[in-house]
Chains A and B, each alone.
Chain A
Amino acid sequence: MSTFLELDHVTKTFGSEGMFGNGQITVAVDDVSLSIDEDEASITTVAGESGSGKTTLSRLLLGSHVPSDGRMLYRGKDFTKLTSRERRNFRREIQPIFQDPFESYNPFYKVDHVLDAPIKNFKLASSNREKQRMIEDALEMVGLLPGETLGRFPHQLSGGQRQRIMVARALLLKPRVILADEPVSMVDASLRATILDSIRRLNRDLGISVVYVTHDLTTAYQISDNLMIMYRGAVVEAGTVDEVIPNPQHPYTKLLIESIPQPDPKNRWGSEPPQQNWDTSDTDMAGCRFADRCPAVMDNCRTTVPAQYLINKHQMTRCFLHEDKGEMENPDITSTFQTESETIKAVPANMSI
């Protein structure tokens, strides 16, 4: 087992007390330790609401933010000490797919451009013919017909097709990890399935690890192996989806799961939950950040930060309700995740749409 990327007690804060700061510090990612393994490809979901820090965490993983505290290690080496060649390699090995399939394109270029550019930049092909073959292979991999896709302008394609071209673009670089930040939140429900399916196929067929950032736990449950729930910077619960979704332990995870609009008119929401109070700054909240909204709040929640308690082998939570279960010895939350050797992948053979 070798670790591809590791976060070691990473914290990321924004704001400053200096000359231009207003003294307010926002803790976007709070003491997170995790690792992405190279040999065992899995799909991990990072879920949480706006402002939970999930996008900051994904930017840390992409190397576009530097931790304020803690270390990020790329193949065991401190990220800030990489040589330019290693950094370039890192940029190829982890590929993002962004939320908006409309803004990722320059409307004046044909879609071929987004596929040509990475091949040129990383000198992946020695001839035009090879380049063409690589592009066609990548498109077919995500279920697109090259003849119907190439030579067109972005506005001539649907949102679903555009997003799948983005998956194909990531694929050209033969990455180890794909980081998909809300890849389906802007496309129609009927097209979501095709995009998520192409992402899942990359994981299964090519052994690429996927970090799926979303607030939609339903699709997360359907495609991912592992799950981490973030709330105001902290990972409040983590584990395998099969443990966490049917049996959430943190009050925030429970609220999140209850609030999913189930397509079942006979099973409607309960009463309206309290609003998040954005007026209290992160520095004012000494204890658990969910304390002011939590239905099960206790006295020590407001004064002390809960540790990571291990519920069972595949589930951990940061909540004093589970203090009796004992702290995790290994702070790496991914240690609760399922490893591939344990997984019996119950994926239907025919996933084509």
Chain B
Amino acid sequence: MSTEQAIQTYRTGARITDVDALVVDGFSVYYETDSGTVKACDDVTFTLKQGERFALVGESGSGKTTLAMGLMRLTRPPGHIAKGSATLNGRDLTTLTDEEMRRTRLSELALVPQGAMNSLNPVMRIERQIIDGILDHVEDDEKSPNKDELDEMVRDLLTRVGLRPGVARLFPHELSGGMKQRVAMAIGISLRPSLIVADEPTSALDVVVQRQIMQTLGRLQEGLDASIMLVGHDMGLVAQFADTIGVMYAGKLVEVGPVEEVFSDPKHPYTKLLIRSLPSLKEKREFLGIPGLPPQLIDLPVGCSFADRCPSVFAKCREVTPLTQDLGGRRETACHLYDGEAKS
């Protein structure tokens, strides 16, 4: 299947173009510790098209948040970007100076954080928190918007995220969890970014609010013609929201593909187990977890890091680290089971 055909299988109404929004190539974030190097995110490669919704899933500790924070250049020492590049709209984010990166954040690349309750300042009114980011990115003081323009912008942003304009005058503690998440989204889109990174944006919310927030986020993204990178572990949410899914395991991206195809025909054994472990509302059946625990990321042995938990393991898995193979139709996996099938 060609790229165009593959794109047609996406959700109806999606405006996915063939323009590359974000090209991540060999991106690695390592943590240097006394006991060795922790390869929290290792040699990750993928491409995000303009208008596409890309979901990154994995267990805690799989490196999905490390990757997202690395792309934002928000990795804290002893972590550092060890190698690779991340090209957003033609500029490699890893080579920007700190000041250039600061200007890029929010204006081109915005973060909707996990747990908005902790990301808002408790002693500042909502309007002030939205305005702060806007004013901080004004390059030329003379073009700075006046108070009326700012008020209008705040009103407009709050309405777009589904809040009444009066929320501007409130403090965070006067809002519910869902409303706070909406404020975080309003801040995120205030400068019309081309890529929104949403890190588990609904993990503390209940299902109805979660659905409302995700649908609002999708509407905003379509309005801006932006791309989204959704980081999370809720496979249900990913199935509802994303166009493309990337599965991370022990710091590596082990499978990428269009969401419908990955759910109906997962390739990597880890993805298979992950999908099988999802409880269903349609039938009662045996609850299955994934046996074992993910490996320690310090000094990973040679070979596939899933080998110890994999039901299909064979000798080669413990000797050679599997490389990502292109299976055609925008499907990729890093597993020796598909060694003969690569379409290079």
Q: Point out residues on A near B: beta carbons under 8 Å.
A: 48-51, 158-159, 188-194, 196-197, 215-219, 221-223, 245, 255-257, 259-266, 268-269, 271-273, 275-276, 278, 346, 348, 350-351, 353
Tell whether, in the assembled complex, residue B239 and residue A257 are in contact, meaning their CB atoms are under 8 Å apart: no
Q: How far is the CA of A275 from the CA of B44 in the complex (A)?
A: 39
Interface residues on B, range: 35 or more
Closest 7 CB pairs of A and B: A261-B236, A193-B289, A215-B206, A49-B206, A193-B287, A272-B215, A259-B211
User: Could you say which of B11, B60, B211, B288 contacts A261, with CB atoms under 8 Å apart?
Assistant: B211
- Pick from B209, B238, B281: contact of A260, CB below 8 A: B281
A190 touches B208 (CB 8 A): no
Q: Which residues of A contact B82 (CB under 8 A)?
A: none
Instruction: Provide the residues of chain A in CB contact with B284, threshold 8 Å.
Output: 221-222, 346
Flag if A272 contacts B211 (CB, 8 Å): yes
Is the CB–CB distance between B215 and A264 below 8 Å?
no
- Verify B260–A189 contact, CB threshold 8 A: no
**A269-B216 contact given A51-B176, A259-B211, A261-B207, CB 8 Å threshold:** no
Tell me which of B11, B207, B277, B293 contacts A189 (CB under 8 A): B277
**How many CB-defined contacts (below 8 Å) exist between A and B?**
129
Question: Contacts of A276 on B, CB cut-off 8 Å?
Answer: 209
Q: Is the CB of B233 within 8 A of A261?
A: no
Q: Are B209 and A263 in contact (CB under 8 A)?
A: no
Supply 17 further A-B pairs (C-beta < 8 A) apart from A261-B237, A275-B212: A159-B60, A189-B235, A192-B279, A196-B287, A216-B207, A218-B280, A221-B281, A222-B284, A256-B207, A259-B208, A263-B235, A263-B236, A263-B239, A265-B260, A350-B286, A353-B289, A353-B291
In the bound complex, how far is the Cα of B238 from the Cα of A49, in angstroms?
A: 21
Q: Name B residues whose Cβ lies closer than 8 Å to a Cβ of A.
A: 11, 59-60, 162, 176-178, 205-212, 215-216, 219, 233-241, 259-260, 263, 273-275, 277-281, 284-291, 293
**List of A residues within 8 angstroms of B285 by Cβ:** 222, 348
- Flag if A272 contacts B290 (CB, 8 Å): no
CB within 8 A of A188: which of B59, B177, B259?
Answer: B59
B208 near A273 with CB under 8 A, answer yes
Overall SS of chain A's interface: loop
Docked-complex contact B208 and A191, CB < 8 angstroms? no
Give complex CA distance A221, B278 in Å: 13
A264 touches B279 (CB 8 A): no
Which chain A residue shows the least CB distance to B12?
Answer: A268
Q: Does A257 lie within 8 Å of B208, measured CB to CB? A: no
Q: Is the CB of B290 within 8 A of A245?
A: no
Which chain B residue lies CB-closest to A216? B207
In the complex, what distance in Å separates the CA atom of A244 from the CA atom of B205? 23
Q: How far is the CA of A272 from the CA of B209 in the complex (A)?
A: 10
Q: List 6 A-B contacts (CB under 8 A).
A: A158-B293, A222-B280, A259-B207, A261-B240, A268-B11, A278-B176
Partner of B211, one of A190, A216, A269, A350: A269
* A188-B59, A193-B288, A245-B281 known; A259+B176 contact, CB < 8 A: no
Nearest CB in chain A: distance from B23 CB, A: 25
Docked Cα-Cα span, A256 to B240, in Å, equals: 15
